[in-house]
């Protein structure tokens, strides 16, 4: 048991260590926007958000769970739209790409998966931005980077670097604790339990989506590894990695005080990911 906990903690520490630099860069950007750039720059960013879902979908192709965390922070500050956030969450694949490469997956298959995920992310993000005008919880609001400062209780007068560092450390520690608990559970239960839940052709994508909702990079590793071992189909891989936004959801709930809004976005992410995965499974 001691060895299991040590192993779980090591992997959690690795995940948190990879996330910290991205979080620090994100908060440095937010602090700069707040203290230096002024309201006009923020308005410009918000008004140029029509292309946000496309940019988010393309950026999500790169294998890093920190991107989703950065997007969650920017959304909480209303710098990006709900559709852009959804596009990043759906497109990002965390450790899927490294696992596919390590598993000697064909380059054409890897490109196909990434492009299909990006396409689903773009369409879903664009649709959400279009429909969000009729959803009170997701209506565009005034950009307010100070929200993050108030929520975290930081002392912005200490300077940009000090405030950004405070934010990044708090979120990293939060992620470290959760990742440790999830890794310990995964190690204790074993991969076979997840494989059985995903093997059913009817409930596989839905089950994969539930696993993808777990805010940890390990979820994408489990689903991708099962796909490489031919234990699950393409629909399960697509659904699980579409829903899987790494620690993005965890950070969103931590920094965005609007709980109902977070729950709605989580539901939309799940439905879009499972539906997209099932559709891609039929087309593949």
pLDDT in tens, 202-219: 788 898 898 888 876 667
Dihedral through CA 254, CA 255, CA 261, CA 267, nearest 10? -50
Q: Do residues 223 and 241 make contact, with C-beta atoms less than 8 angstroms apart?
A: yes
Which residue, chain included where needed, has tokens 């192709």?
61
Q: Do residues 207 and 170 make contact, with C-beta atoms less than 8 angstroms apart?
A: no
Classified as helix, coil or strand, 62 is: coil
pLDDT in tens, 97-150: 777 877 778 999 989 999 999 999 999 999 998 888 777 667 655 545 555 555
- Token representation of residue 203: 């409930």
Is the confidence at residue 282, as pLDDT, over 60? yes
- Token representation of residue 79: 């710098």
Rounded to whole angstroms, how far apart are CA atoms 283 and 233?
Answer: 12
| Helix H or strand E encompassing 133 | none
Confidence of residue 2 (pLDDT cuts 50, 70, 90): confident
Which whole-number Å values give the CA distances from 258 to 137, 138, 277, in the listed order?
9, 10, 28
Mean pLDDT for all residues in the chain: 78
Is the confidence at residue 152, as pLDDT, over 60? no
Alpha helices by DSSP H, listed for the chain, are 2-32, 39-47, 52-59, 66-76, 82-91, 96-102, 107-131, 146-152, 160-189, 191-199, 204-213, 218-228, 234-243, 248-255, 259-283
Q: Do residues 182 and 216 make contact, with C-beta atoms less than 8 angstroms apart?
A: yes
Confidence of residue 169 (pLDDT cuts 50, 70, 90): confident
The larger pLDDT score, comparing residue 60 to residue 205, is at 205
Confidence of residue 64 (pLDDT cuts 50, 70, 90): low
The larger pLDDT score, comparing residue 45 to residue 150, is at 150
Which burial class, exposed, middle or buried, applies to 17 when counting CB atoms under 10 A from its CB (0-12, 13-18, 19+)?
exposed
Residue (of 69, 99, 56) closest to 241 by Cα position: 99
Q: What is the pLDDT of residue 145?
A: 53
User: On the CB side of 69, how many CA atoms lie within 13 Å of its CA?
Assistant: 31
Q: What is the pLDDT of residue 114?
A: 92
Classified as helix, coil or strand, 156 is: helix
Question: 64: alpha, beta or left, given left = phi > 0 and alpha = psi -120 to 50?
Answer: beta
114: number of Cβ within 10 Å: 21
The rounded percent of the chain whose pLDDT value lies above 70 is 74
């Amino acid at each position: 048991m001691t060895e299991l906990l040590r192993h779980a903690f090591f992997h959690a520490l690795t995940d948190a260590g990879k996330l910290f630099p991205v979080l620090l860069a994100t908060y440095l950007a937010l602090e700069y926007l707040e203290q230096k750039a002024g309201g006009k720059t923020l308005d410009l960013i918000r008004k140029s958000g029509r292309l946000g879902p496309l940019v988010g979908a393309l950026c999500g192709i790169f294998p890093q769970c920190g991107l989703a965390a950065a997007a969650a922070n920017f959304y909480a500050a209303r710098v990006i739209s709900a559709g852009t956030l959804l596009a990043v969450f759906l497109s990002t694949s965390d450790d899927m790409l490294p696992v596919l490469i390590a598993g000697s997956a064909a380059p054409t298959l890897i490109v196909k998966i990434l492009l299909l995920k990006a396409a689903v992310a773009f369409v879903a993000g664009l649709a959400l931005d279009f429909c969000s005008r009729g959803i009170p919880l997701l209506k565009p609001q005034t950009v307010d980077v100070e929200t993050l400062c108030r929520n975290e209780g930081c002392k912005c007068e200490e300077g940009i670097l000090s405030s950004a560092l405070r934010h990044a450390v708090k979120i990293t520690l939060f992620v470290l604790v959760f990742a440790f608990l999830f890794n310990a559970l995964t190690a204790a239960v074993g991969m076979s339990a997840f494989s059985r839940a995903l093997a059913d052709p009817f409930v596989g994508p839905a089950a994969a989506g539930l696993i993808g909702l777990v805010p940890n990079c390990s979820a994408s590793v489990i689903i991708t590894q099962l796909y490489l071992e031919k234990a699950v189909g393409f629909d399960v891989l697509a659904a699980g990695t579409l829903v899987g936004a790494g620690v993005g959801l965890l950070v969103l709930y931590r920094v965005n005080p609007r709980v109902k809004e977070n729950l709605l976005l989580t539901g939309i992410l799940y439905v879009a990911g499972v539906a997209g995965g099932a559709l891609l499974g039929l087309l593949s």
